[in-house]
Amino acid sequence: MPDIRKLLWPNSVAIVGASSDTRGLRGRIVQILRSHPYKGAVYPVSRGETEVQGLKAYKSVADLPPTDLAALIIPAKFVPQELEACGKAGIKAAIILSSGFAEEKGETGPALQREVQRIAKQYDMAVSGPNGEGFTNTAAALCPTFSPAMDPGDVPLLPPAEHTRGQVAVISQSGGMGYAFFDHGRPKELSFRYIVTTGNEACLAASDFAEFIIDEGKTNAILMLIEDLKDRATFERMAAKALRAGIPLIINRLGASEAGARAILAHTAARGDDAEYRALFRRYGVIESDDLDEMVDFAAAFILMGKRLPASYRVAIASSSGGGGAWVADACAISGLDMPVLDDATRAKIDVYLPPYGCSQNPVDVTAQAIHERGYAEFARLAAESPNVDGVILVVTGRHPRFLLEDREHLIALGRDSKKPVLLWSYTRPAAVCVDLLSEAGLPLFTNVHNCARAMCVMADYRAARAAFLKG
Amino acid sequence: MPDIRKLLWPNSVAIVGASSDTRGLRGRIVQILRSHPYKGAVYPVSRGETEVQGLKAYKSVADLPPTDLAALIIPAKFVPQELEACGKAGIKAAIILSSGFAEEKGETGPALQREVQRIAKQYDMAVSGPNGEGFTNTAAALCPTFSPAMDPGDVPLLPPAEHTRGQVAVISQSGGMGYAFFDHGRPKELSFRYIVTTGNEACLAASDFAEFIIDEGKTNAILMLIEDLKDRATFERMAAKALRAGIPLIINRLGASEAGARAILAHTAARGDDAEYRALFRRYGVIESDDLDEMVDFAAAFILMGKRLPASYRVAIASSSGGGGAWVADACAISGLDMPVLDDATRAKIDVYLPPYGCSQNPVDVTAQAIHERGYAEFARLAAESPNVDGVILVVTGRHPRFLLEDREHLIALGRDSKKPVLLWSYTRPAAVCVDLLSEAGLPLFTNVHNCARAMCVMADYRAARAAFLKG
């Protein structure tokens, strides 16, 4: 097994095919790489240019100083010879961003891919791709990719460290989709450790990267988008490790439909049987989802509430909006959650604060008036104390920050002290200060009601699957 | 039947219970009302203050100049006497924002609600509420509500008129949820004509408002959140009118689950049988959805593509991302759409532009390279010409605007000339300029893949339901 650490944590990176033209992908990769504070050396390799974007360019791979990783972004037909040059130069890791391999019609592309496999094996190189979009290692500020999601100046790669309760890794065959997870999750203050796009997986596959990441022990949830599994034994070993470590695998396998299967065959030459995948995933407590937003929301919920997963499927709902409470109740029922009426002792404690038109049954219709007087957190705290429930969904409106901000200390205490999971659904688009505050409090904030309800449900599923697995 | 026009289009509004304290709801309603350029007169009525927020205040309803609409925001027990005073003063419309009526435990609240009904009938008044959150009429810039969604300074009430292809109305028993539709839809450049929140519906019900809005003929889609139907005959008459006029009703009925039913009973004293609703909705081509984001997305799709609904369920997918194409194909299959392989003539026209690793089958894997060279629009246009399909889903990345902006003229032509519906899914969060451009082009932009696929599906459903209904 080649050394993935050389690939994800190189001290130096060569860009083979680098260009000064930042309108093209070969220029973009250099531009993006240099726009982040990566501490290693960057060596452009260019046949035509002596300097690329202010960096000295090398004529060929053979001229390079000692290099850990080569990123190849050149026409497919030149990839084998350059990869071989890398191998001869002692470069132990490569990513191939070029397309035109096994996914191409005809004989040439697949033959080139077999060449890549042969060379990687011969020189014991860790090779990712071809037909990938590179990767990102946020801790190293290393982004050898042309993904526009890695353009700087929008949001920093990482949210504030003091709010970070854990990190997520993305592993995706599709480059565009892989970086789309980051694009959707980062504004929600989700902290990404890696985004790895694996393309055709001629050599290293998603499971190999996942296993490295699990063994490394710094990632708390893994989002995977796969088109097929190259090696089932590796997947099983990896998935077992993940489940033992309590690192949820949140996976969408593309190609479940006939047209989807046609698409992945054309995209990365992938094939697979849906029923087999389902059975395999079930065995290892994999959380399946076919919705990008939902997958990101699940990851956030596990990162913040993973140490207090619901013991079962009984949930309390507390809402400032009566309609909002009913809506989330319907969503919970669709997800398979139960909403038992709260016990009398808990109801009595809640009733003290409610106006006569409020209701403490479940959903707790707290009413706007009681929220104005007591804030949100107290009602979630009281509901969570009911022995009849295993978790709480708190319905808020995050558009106007006043009632959340005034409740700051209690929300932070709730996030810190609650022994049961508390998830928040904001039925309005939350203001940035509310996102910040709830991130600081470690309370998962959902804007989609079904994602919120389903998150509670899959957390309970995962707890049960893990318990069964550990029991053997 | 009392005159709803007096309620929604008053020349003068009295706020009974108005206050100078803008931290409370009685002050907020005046503040919000005055922050929009409503041309009519606003008369605060206050027992304690002679001036409210710079306006002369009236001691009692009896002192008011002739007034069209009264908004009552006073404790429930005073509502009947003030409503009666309104009736005596010749005020023909009222909204009651107070809570504490039929939704309250015990006898007092329900008795107060019966009093409201009696007075409204006696004076032939159009009365909305109680327990509502008021309404908004954007054309009149009239917002008698305390909803924070109507705070000015964030986005204007209406998007640019030149981009507006049609308007949507919201009718919701829940105030918080009613305005949540606006909050979610407005940033997507959806144009709202009315947001009406109806609360307990003691007098006027959602169907009454919907019928007024349909008769008025200026609204192209109606979003409804209902807890129950007060009068089935009115609903059926209204729904038949809507279907005849081609105005889709997009409805979520809360309370489908046991806990949801418990919640709506406590919220607005509503009850209902789910199976009955389902059958009723099916008869009139009602589009049911239990997801707020999806409902808003459906409305946008109908507004922009309502004149070219898909003839059937066959869809072409064109994508710059291979993984994105596969993802949308799976989503389409889940929705019940078909994705036949395109006909040879269409494929030949597309193949001219594709690199060898692209694919024109369906999904069309356009590849980023071909998008860079030809833009997005041309591929959607070509795919739509295939006799094998009834609509097109175009997968784009809206984060970096370059390729969409460079394709501006073609996208506008596509939105204008396409005879089949074209929906766009952006797998990254679209930049504001892209939202603007696609709004100008009249192309519906989705950020959730399932909402996109389901929109195509419900448009085909609606076309079929309407055809069957018109045939009798």
Going residue by residue through chain A, which has 472 residues, state the pLDDT in tens, using 9 for 90 and above.
Answer: 899 999 999 999 999 999 999 989 999 999 999 999 999 999 999 999 999 999 999 999 999 999 999 999 999 999 999 999 999 999 999 999 999 999 888 899 999 999 999 999 999 999 999 999 999 999 999 999 999 899 876 678 999 888 889 999 999 999 999 999 999 999 888 999 999 999 999 999 999 999 999 999 999 999 999 998 888 999 999 999 999 999 999 999 998 888 888 888 887 777 777 888 889 999 999 999 999 999 999 999 999 999 999 999 999 999 999 999 999 999 999 999 999 999 999 999 999 999 888 899 999 999 888 998 999 999 999 999 999 999 999 999 998 888 899 999 999 999 999 999 999 999 999 999 999 999 999 999 999 999 999 999 999 999 999 999 999 8
* Chain A CB within 8 Å of residue B331 CB: yes
From chain A, the residues in CB contact with B172 under 8 A are: 323
Percent of the residues in chain A that have a pLDDT greater than 90, as a whole number: 84
A447 to chain B: closest CA residue: B293
| Backbone CA torsion sign across B268, B273, B274, B277 | negative
Tell me the per-residue pLDDT of B286-345, one tens digit each, with 9 for 90 and over: 999 999 999 999 999 999 999 999 999 999 999 999 999 999 999 999 999 999 999 999
Tell me the per-residue pLDDT of A385-394, one tens digit each, with 9 for 90 and over: 999 999 999 9
Please name the residues between 26 and 65 in chain B that touch chain A, using a CB distance below 8 Å.
none
Best CA proximity match to B391, nearest among B399, B403, B383: B383
CB pair distance less than 8 Å for A330 and B449: no
Q: Quote the minimal CA–CA distance from A393 to chain B in Å.
A: 14
With a CB cutoff of 8 Å and minimum separation 6, the contacts of B143 are B32, B33, B36, B38, B134, B135, B136, B137, B150, B157
Two tokens, residue A34: 């240099």
- Give the mean pLDDT of chain B: 95
* Residue B404: C-alpha distances to residues B193, B343, B370, B396, B441 (Å): 29, 27, 13, 8, 11
From chain A, the residues in CB contact with B206 under 8 A are: none
User: pLDDT value at position B171?
Assistant: 98
From chain A, the residues in CB contact with B263 under 8 A are: 317, 322, 325-326, 329, 363, 365
Nearest to B361 among A149, A183, A262 (CB): A262
User: pLDDT value at position A409?
Assistant: 97
Q: Quote the minimal CA–CA distance from B255 to chain A in Å.
A: 6
Nearest to B429 among A184, A257, A359 (CB): A184
Tell me the per-residue pLDDT of B251-280, one tens digit each, with 9 for 90 and over: 999 988 888 888 888 877 777 778 888 899
Q: Which residue has the tokens 């998007």?
A: B159
User: pLDDT value at position A294?
Assistant: 98
Tell me which DSSP letter residue A65 carries: P
CB pair distance less than 8 Å for B361 and A266: yes
Two tokens, residue A13: 């990176």
- CB atoms under 10 Å from CB of A75, counted, come to 10
> What are the two backbone dihedrals, phi and then psi, of residue B369, each rounded to the nearest 5 degrees?
-60, -50
Please name the residues between 175 and 204 in chain B that touch chain A, using a CB distance below 8 Å.
175-180, 183-184, 187
User: pLDDT value at position B57?
Assistant: 98
* Chain B CB within 8 Å of residue A326 CB: yes
Count contacts between A and B (CB, < 8 Å): 264
Q: Which residue has the tokens 């009149």?
A: B140
Ramachandran area for residue A129 (φ above 0: left; ψ -120 to 50: alpha; else beta): left
* Chain A CB within 8 Å of residue B259 CB: yes
Tell me the per-residue pLDDT of B88-122, one tens digit each, with 9 for 90 and over: 999 999 999 999 999 888 899 999 999 999 999 99
User: pLDDT value at position B390?
Assistant: 98
* Residue A108: C-alpha distances to residues A449, B352, B356 (Å): 49, 20, 10
Q: Quote the minimal CA–CA distance from A158 to chain B in Å.
A: 18
Q: Quote the minimal CA–CA distance from B325 to chain A in Å.
A: 7
A359 to chain B: closest CA residue: B266
A193-218: buried (b, 16+ CB within 10 Å) or exposed (e) per residue?
A: bbbbbbbbbbbbbbbbbbbbbbeeee
Q: Quote the minimal CA–CA distance from B164 to chain A in Å.
A: 23
User: pLDDT value at position B178?
Assistant: 97
- CB atoms under 10 Å from CB of B254, counted, come to 31
Q: Quote the minimal CA–CA distance from A142 to chain B in Å.
A: 21
Rounded-to-10 torsion of CA B381, B382, B388, B394: -50
User: pLDDT value at position A154?
Assistant: 66
Sorting pLDDT into bands at 50, 70 and 90, what band is B154? Answer: low
pTM of the model: 0.96
Q: Which of A22, A29, A321, A457 to mutate to test the interface with B (most CBs of B within 10 A)?
A: A321
From chain A, the residues in CB contact with B397 under 8 A are: 148, 176, 180
Tell me which DSSP letter residue A306 carries: G
* Chain A CB within 8 Å of residue B336 CB: no
**Range with lowest mean pLDDT among B7-16, B41-50, B87-96, B395-404:** B395-404
The stretch B67-93 carries a mean pLDDT of 98
**How far apart are alpha carbons B17 and B85 in whole angstroms?**
14
CB pair distance less than 8 Å for B259 and A177: no
User: pLDDT value at position A422?
Assistant: 98
CB pair distance less than 8 Å for B357 and A320: no
* Chain A CB within 8 Å of residue B297 CB: no
Nearest to A258 among B109, B149, B333 (CB): B333
Question: In 3-state terms, what secondary structure has residue A314?
Answer: strand
From chain B, the residues in CB contact with A330 under 8 A are: 254-257, 259-260, 290
From chain A, the residues in CB contact with B130 under 8 A are: none
CB pair distance less than 8 Å for A267 and B365: yes
CB pair distance less than 8 Å for A267 and B149: no
| Backbone CA torsion sign across B280, B283, B284, B289 | positive
Q: Quote the minimal CA–CA distance from B136 to chain A in Å.
A: 17
